[in-house]
Amino acid sequence: MTVMHSKAVVLGMARTPFGRLSGTLAPLEATTLGSAALLAAIERAHIGSDEIEHIVMGQVLQAGAGQNPARQVGFKSGLAKTVTAETINKVCASGLVALVHASQLVNGDANQVVAAGGMESMSNAPYLLKEARAGYRFGDGRLIDAMIHDGLWDYYFPMTMASQGAKVANELGVSRDAQDEFAYHSHRRATEAQARGDLADEIVPIRVATKPKGKIVLEKLPEPARARVPVAAGSSNGAADAVWDHEPSSEFTLRYGEWAPFVTGDVPHSTLDRDESVRTDASLETMAKLRPIDPGGTITAGNAPGVNDGAAAMIVASTQYARDRGHEPLATLLDHACVAWDSPYIALTPAMAAQKLLAKTGLKKDQIDVWEINEAFSTVALTSAHRLGLNPENINRFGGAVAMGHPIGASGARIVGAVINQLRKRGGGFGIAAICSGGGQGDALLIEVK
């Protein structure tokens, strides 16, 4: 992509509220959350589900989730069996990189319409018993928490990212007081944005069925989309050749109504319509009383994000496709930059990626109207703002992950949606969504709303 020539536009976007660990959304698989977000994005884009050609979804905690979770999202959403799908894991950046990949497919003319985003159910991350396959000969076995092992643990300098974050915060001179103050404002901004209705263009309420468990209550089930044979696969007269001439047996014919993770009618349920972790009663006094996660550290449960469940999705299409069908795009995904650095120093990488993106596009920081920097910890956002010369008051204006939560596969897509939402409310401009990820990487995406 180049700054003035991207043809990848967003037609619709939606995300679930983010739920607490073992909270309201805990009965739902990550792929069910992903399908709920995708169905809402399709509806808001005013397109038919049979227009989607490809799906790219980010998910980090894939152990026990089943084959290719993005493909599951397609089937759960009633998309046709001919819609291709792939799942991306770039830790916390997964959802953002899924959108980048979607825009690259559109800009490269590989696809006209792509569904993309991210999802995570940290409540459903399993425990692993690694040595069990070979058998235990003597002594105790060890259960491994997949949420920590696959999502929150530094493979190269073995410790949790929270422990590393505390050490890096001390090294960089980011005080406990500064982190607590930033966290307080994250909760305050999220509370005020929710009260004003500013998040309505992002969040779709989720009605979680009490019985049957694991399903979402909808007004009506989606209509399963028709399968489309690619024209390129057909013969010279456009008809499919013998390679595509096949009907599945009754045993292998998917009956969507029986298989979908949705129910209709008067079903007992719990409704979640806002981010569950936001503390409307947050105060600096309360935060100051919280103990550090590690002795001598500065990171606490108050100035770090929670462990959460949620999903976000967007419909990315070509400008020509949108124009031909009379759709007004929400935004254009203009350009992307990524960096890699020392693994423990994730606090530095969002600013590095953003700086690389600005240099690549020729834009200056003052030309960026909206900044979203994922609050992996308060210290990440504070360090990024300092390194880029930004006022912390001017980033994450509707709150961030410290308040809303951080379902790691979904957060990258959420902050892109937050940029689009804020740009549209201010009447347009440029925005940057920047995020760090485990292993010491950083990604930044430039977005424009006209």
**Per-residue pLDDT, 108:** 96
**Per-residue pLDDT, 321:** 98
Is 260 part of any domain? no
| CA dist., res. 316 & res. 11, Å (int) | 6
- Backbone φ and ψ for 97, nearest 5 degrees, come out as -65, -30
Confidence of residue 247 (pLDDT cuts 50, 70, 90): confident
Is 202 part of any domain? yes
The residue-averaged pLDDT of 340-354 equals: 98
Q: How many domains would you assign to the chain? A: 1
165-212 pLDDT, tens digit per residue, is 999 999 999 999 999 999 999 999 999 999 999 999 999 999 999 999
**Per-residue pLDDT, 233:** 56
Is 1 part of any domain? no
269 is catalytic: no
Is 148 part of any domain? no
360-399 pLDDT, tens digit per residue, is 999 999 999 999 999 999 999 999 999 999 999 999 999 9
Is 259 part of any domain? no
- Structural domain harbouring 97: 8-126+159-213+269-449
423-449 pLDDT, tens digit per residue, is 999 999 999 999 999 999 999 999 999
Q: What percent of the chain has pLDDT over 90?
A: 89
The residue assigned the tokens 């347009």 is: 428
- Residue 386's Cβ-count burial label (10 Å; 0-12, 13-18, 19+) is middle
Q: Are 92 and 347 in contact (CB under 8 A)?
A: no
**Per-residue pLDDT, 139:** 86
**Per-residue pLDDT, 240:** 52
**Per-residue pLDDT, 237:** 53
**Active-site annotation holder among 54, 92, 185, 336:** 92
406 is catalytic: yes
338 is catalytic: no
In whole numbers, what is the pLDDT of the chain averaged over residues?
Answer: 95
**Active-site annotation holder among 185, 187, 338, 436:** 436
Beta bridge partners of 113: 317
CATH number, domain with residue 196 = 3.40.47.10
The structure's pTM equals: 0.96
Is 349 part of any domain? yes
Is 228 part of any domain? no
**Per-residue pLDDT, 5:** 79
48-105 pLDDT, tens digit per residue, is 999 999 999 999 999 999 999 999 999 999 999 999 999 999 999 999 999 999 999 9
Q: Which residues contact 92 (CB under 8 A, 6 or more apart)?
A: 60, 374, 376, 406, 408, 411, 412, 435, 436, 437, 438
Angle 247-249-250 from CA coordinates, rounded to 5°: 120
Is 134 part of any domain? no
Largest Cα span, the chain? 74
Confidence of residue 258 (pLDDT cuts 50, 70, 90): confident
**Per-residue pLDDT, 1:** 46
Closest CA to 126 of 110, 111, 147, 106: 147
